[in-house]
Amino acid sequence: MENPKEYILLKRYFGYDDFRNGQREIIEHVLKGTDVLAIMPTGAGKSICYQIPALMFDGVTIVISPLISLMKDQVETLCEAGIKAAYINSSLNSDEYEKVVENAKAGMYKLVYVAPERLETDSFLELLKSIQISMVAVDESHCVSQWGHDFRPSYMHIPKMIQRLDSRPVVAAFTATATPEVKNDIVNLLKLDNPFCLTTGFDRENLYFSVLKPENKFDKLLEYLSNAKDKPGIVYASTRKSVESICKRLQDMGYSATRYHAGLCESERSKNQEDFLYDRVNIMVATNAFGMGIDKPDISYVIHYNMPKNLESYYQEAGRAGRDGTRAECLLFYSASDIMTNKLLIENGSEGKDKTGEYQKLNDIVAYCNTDRCLRSYILDYFGEKDVKAHCENCSNCSNHIECTDITIEAQKILSCIKRMGERFGNVVTADVLHGSNTEKIRTMGFDKLTTYGIMREYSKDAIKEFISYLTAEGYVTLHGDQYPVLKLNKSAYMVLQGSVKVSIKRVIERQKTSSDLKGTIDKGLFDILKAIRRSVAYEHNVPPFVVFSDAALNDMCRKYPTNNEEMLSVSGVGTFKMEKFGEQFITAIRQYVKEHEIKINHVEYTKSKTVYLPTRKEQKVDTRMATYELYKNGLTINEIAAKRELATGTIEGHLLDCMAAGMEVDSESFFPKELEARIVEAIKTNMDGKLKSVKDALPEEVTYGAIRFAIIKNKLQKS
């Protein structure tokens, strides 16, 4: 460790033991005073790269961020972690604004978040001159470029603002998406001074990618939700109408769902968004209008009910899952009709824009939906990532079984038909001809005279279109043109027609999910308890639950069972400040849970190594009895064992009786007198048909299950 201070701050304020890929290098450069441009995917942890230096510098760090809702979340998260921060944007009234200005002048903040539009106001620039600014962090810095997808003219004011300061602070720019043009723009337009540039790569290892072609999308959605309905997730649909209908159907079936699209009034949109953010509802059904500015880190799945218009949007939207690093799933429900919807969207929404580019991007995502390659490698190749592994083993194409069916004959029929139609038509007319439809267009064009007319009558038109999409995805044919793209044969198509190449279609056989895929390996019972505590703490503090502790932190608690402050601090995501603020309630609940469920955990092992053996619940129970037995063999009394193990004496007696029942040597006279045994036997006999619980209820409260079990075994009575 070259600079332990960074690590101390990382643990104290954020609760993490180690930096993620790229974070440390960026922090080191910033601390040396070098400007930085960091291109890191969503969820990679860009914020910490400027928050830690902000804590180490003397003055204030100004963070320029384009989204008001994001600012609020970030500032709340910082304040809950014990870091002094504030934001300045149009949501503040004049009193609130004055207060923030006053505090900033008094040096009360380490970070101040501002909307870029502020940089245009003189009063704000005056404020900046009266405080010491150590760093300017530019979030979503691609907004400065007109090449990017979210150009914000106010970003152009950033260099002017920096110039007006008495001394130039270090400038750090961050973004998740930057093509070479955008990257150049960021460096030049923000006037970065010989910056250290770092790209960590686009891969999001914790995301599972899957493409499904369900016959009935809604049924597929229900099937998925049956295992995931308690987790927060987003369902994206392409139109407002489908958002309305999916949401309504889910609500009618009792699911906790809400909706979001641009057609709703502002107040409903923000209410629904808050409900989702605050875990009051689990499922957000939305158009792509939802998501910008949503920093909810524990989204467990993102389902695209329809194929989006390109891979850029898909990766950005799907990337909203699993920001906290826990495993999350990104599912795309594909159907050929999604292509039509997207074509309409391109036609209606791209006045003056480059349609050829948009159609090309549409073709690329159609190919993604139809490829049998590893989906992750497809995406990463698309974004120009180098040295991509061919198989990720974490996408549906890598993990499912793929069944091949030879479709050379069908392919030859289709390719030959395209050729005979003069390579001047798209897939709809081609499918009509192959299917043998009797339309006026076909008659007028004379296609009903072609030898290929009706030679695929046994297939539905949709099925033929699927074949054509597949041949397109595999590169045998290409779609040319914008509005009415036409199918043209490629070189490889001629090889198929000559019979020198065979074509097979791959049908994905979905792997049945194992229970560990669905539930993870954590203790679900405890997780639910901790989640409920988190919700009430969040309610008390009026912040979203993830601001208290992330799901990743709760998961780690369920693995480590921390029962004191020190152990709680070993949990990833629990820093000193939050531990002091919220730790106790969680520790108390965990202690009680551990006791009730007799869970024995070797904490030392957990903190030392990440790959530890997790005992099963059954093994833990055996273990806890053995621990009692060992102390008993060492001569401790029942009271002493109970005190040492922080368990009730009744529990210890129960353990020892279980040991006796298992044939181990225990002198039971002192705590299991003969009269008691006789009483138990009597109770068992009178409750012969009842459950163990009825026997217990018939006896004084202090008689343990262990005692009853022992009496049954010793007296050879039948009782399950």
Q: Please report, as ranges, the residues that interact with ligand ADP according to CB under 6 A.
A: 16, 18-20, 23, 40, 42-48, 295, 297, 323-325, 550
Closer of 325 and 706 to ligand ADP (Cβ): 325
Of 243 and 330, nearer to ligand ADP (C-beta) is 330
Q: Give dist(CA 423, CA 626) in Å, integer.
A: 78
Count of beta carbons in the 10 Å neighbourhood of residue 580:
11
Using the minimum distance from each CB to ligand ADP, give the nearer residue, 16 or 359.
Answer: 16
Helix (H, G, I), strand (E, B) or coil at 346: helix
Q: Considering the complex, what minimum distance in angstroms separates the CB of residue 139 from ligand ADP? A: 8
Beta-bridge partner residues of 500: none
> Of the two residues 285 and 574, which places its CB atom closer to ligand ADP in the complex?
574
Strand partners for 506: 404
CB 415 within 8 A of CB 496: yes
CB atoms within 10 A of CB 469: 20
**Residue 525: CB minimum distance to ligand ADP, A:** 25
Q: How far is the CB of 73 from ligand ADP (least distance, A)?
A: 9
Longest C-alpha distance within the chain, in Å? Answer: 103
Distances in Å between the Cα of 474 and the Cα atoms of 340, 413, 418, 468, 656 are 20, 16, 16, 10, 68
Q: Which is nearer to ligand ADP, 152 or 249 (CB)?
A: 152
Amino acid at 517: D
Comparing CA positions, the residue from 171, 175, 169 lying closest to residue 196 is: 171
C-beta of 295 vs 658, nearer to ligand ADP = 295
Residues 6+ apart with CB under 8 A from 409: none
Q: How far is the CB of 38 from ligand ADP (least distance, A)?
A: 9
- Residue 713 Cβ vs ligand ADP, minimum distance, rounded to whole Å: 50
The SS3 assignment for 614 reads coil
Q: Please say which residue, 520 or 690, places its beta carbon nearer to ligand ADP.
A: 520
Cα distances from 316 to residues 157, 158, 311, 471, in angstroms, run 27, 25, 8, 28
Residue 387 CA to residue 609 CA, distance in Å, equals 30
Pair 571, 562: CB distance under 8 Å: yes
- Smallest separation (angstroms) from ligand ADP to the CB of 114: 17
CB-nearer residue toward ligand ADP: 40 or 473: 40
CA distance between the termini of the chain: 58
- Tokens standing for residue 405: 């069916």
- The CB-of-17 to ligand ADP minimum distance in angstroms stands at 8
For residue 361, the minimal CB distance to ligand ADP (Å) is 23
Nearer to ligand ADP, 313 or 363 (CB): 313
Q: How far is the CB of 80 from ligand ADP (least distance, A)?
A: 12
Dist. CA 493–CA 475, nearest whole Å: 8
Give the distance from CA 641 to its chain's centroid: 45
Find the radius of gyration of the CA atoms of the chain: 32
Closer of 18 and 268 to ligand ADP (Cβ): 18
Q: How far is the CB of 15 from ligand ADP (least distance, A)?
A: 8
- β partners of residue 175: 39
